[in-house]
Structure 1
């Protein structure tokens, strides 16, 4: 009887020590996974930034926005005034149609205008034919979902996808409060404060684009020519690249996964094991933010200050066993 008590005590101590070591090993492994993912995410955005920067410095980008034979000049000539040019621009394309022109209206004046465009007589038509193909190819082959050219005064003189914000002004137009406009405005403030803005850029965090109903980010850079700013190129970034990175669950077992959460408690990558917790749902339904169950705010408060955190949450997903 006397020997049973010490043996029980030793067993309890051994189990406690083993459990503690196992917890430390698991946590250490998760921290290692976190660091790998953090490095991958940083490299991903660094490569996007480098790709965008090299393109903005290319002769192709400089020529395409030029004030003599590029989109800026062609945009200005769409009307006798810049205001009328904006109106004309917004009537040229089907929203989201890339290079699909709107059908002409019955008004005779409108018919003449579209007739001129269809025949390729308009300067904008010729410029568009010259440059659109390469811009569209870059969008199709990358994680960019759109590329926009904006002149120095804020006019969106070109867009690959031609959403409704194409042809508008990002400073005083109807979309001046959007994330796209915010990215341009903040870069412009920086450019106005320095003599050489060639190294400047502005990255806007992911937000819902109300025109496409997609969650996107924006990377804005100046286009320089002969030491002068000719305009701004804005790359719209989808979250498909982040999803691809975070969906790799190697080393996480059957129920483990990694995901990215912003300081607003909204997702930046989808959860593969619980599809309802998607980036889109997180931005459109407060039920799917990370401040809602099964992710309590106190848990996320520990995760947000670091770039990527280890979150251990038991039974947020219960696999079905057949």
Structure 2
């Protein structure tokens, strides 16, 4: 009986003093590190995907500006517009020939629209006739709008806008522009495209491996979201201001992963980073998951250790109680 008591005491001591703390110090940090590394991996993958999206669009606009079709059609549209206007026979003749060819590029690259703007700021062509067509982006009503700013800077180099609202499509678009030159390197104007938000949205919606509370979102340098929140029904693009520790540090150029409170005031594990080299777009990327879900396995392990330790302690205490009670009764009978 004495040997059983000693063995039980050793087992209890081993678990509580050695195995429990040893498991806590080794396994739990490993689990926490695995969760963080997964979130960091998702962050880096999404970062590359977003950067590649912009690099691809820069290349598309640049190639389009060098296309002979654009070089030939821009001066012809400009001359017809200047001489007789958009509704003249001469303009319609140019449009009949070049319009379908330019529309092919619009469909091929998935643009919302393609504009041709001469060097004086006249919007002389648009695949879709919207409010910009026929206006002047240098002196007209839209000169101070995003499209006007893109025109002014796009005459010298490739220029991209941040997300801006398109009244025609009732959605957000990027505006991209590149200067167009003729064979003698004389500036003719620029080609401008509207890239729908739907082109980048799938990158942000892919949340594989982020569980029920994971979210990927982008914030601009004005602290407003450039993506849709999965937790809010209303539109959050350029509507919801995010002023958290993560956005502040990311906008300051820092890359890190921390437990902070998100825009819902809920503790989350947040992996964040600035998106570098997006030319004219200044964004930061944030990947987060609720702390409770992120560390569920860690919490479960802690709970199990406590339960096992408690069960062993109870069994040991009960065993010792009955053991000593029995010894006490036996000693009492022996005296009688």
Task: Give the TM-score normalised by the residue count of structure 1.
Answer: 0.70
On the 8 A contact 2:78/2:118 being kept in 1, the answer is: yes
Aligned ranges for residues 197-208 of structure 1 at < 5 Å?
200-208=157-165
Unaligned 5+ segments in structure 2 are 1-7, 254-273, 276-284, 294-336
Of 4, 8, 16, which aligns to 1:8? 16
More strand by share: 2
The Cα of 1:160 is off from its aligned counterpart by 1.3
Could you tell me which residue of structure 2 aligns to residue 58 of structure 1?
Answer: 67
Confirm or deny that 1:72 pairs with 2:75: no
* CA positional deviation for 1:274: 3.0
Please give the alpha-carbon distance, in whole angstroms, between the structure 2 residues aligned to 1:21 and 1:277: 39
Residues 292-311 of structure 1 mapped to structure 2, 5 A cutoff: 297-304=244-251, 305=253, 306-307=274-275, 308-311=285-288
Work out which of the two has the higher radius of gyration on C-alpha atoms and give 1 or 2.
Answer: 2
Question: Gaps (5+ residues) in structure 1?
Answer: 79-84, 93-116, 192-199, 292-296, 317-322
In structure 1, distance between residues paired with 2:59 and 2:138 = 27
CA contact (8 A) 2:159 2:178 kept: yes
Matched residue of 2:194: which SS? strand
The equivalent position to 1:215 in structure 2, one of 163, 169, 172, is 172
- Matches of residues 271-282 of structure 1 in structure 2 within 5 Å? 271=229, 273-274=230-231, 276=233, 278=235, 281-282=236-237
Partner residue, 1:289: 241
> Deviation of residue 186 (structure 1)?
1.8
Structure that is richer in helix per residue: 2
Aligned mates of 1:223, 1:315 — CA distance in 2: 54
Distance 2:67 2:29 in 1: 57
Change (3 A) 1:29 1:277: farther
Aligned equivalents of 1:180 and 1:224: distance in 2? 20
Deviations 1:196-243 (CA, angstroms, capped at 9, x unpaired): xxxx31111112235544211111101111211111111111111111
Q: CA deviation at 1:311?
A: 3.1
| Higher RCO (CA < 8 A, seq sep 6+) | 2
Instruction: Tell me how far 1:23 sits from its aligned partner.
Output: 1.7
Across the aligned residues of Structure 1 and Structure 2, the Cα RMSD in angstroms comes to 2.6
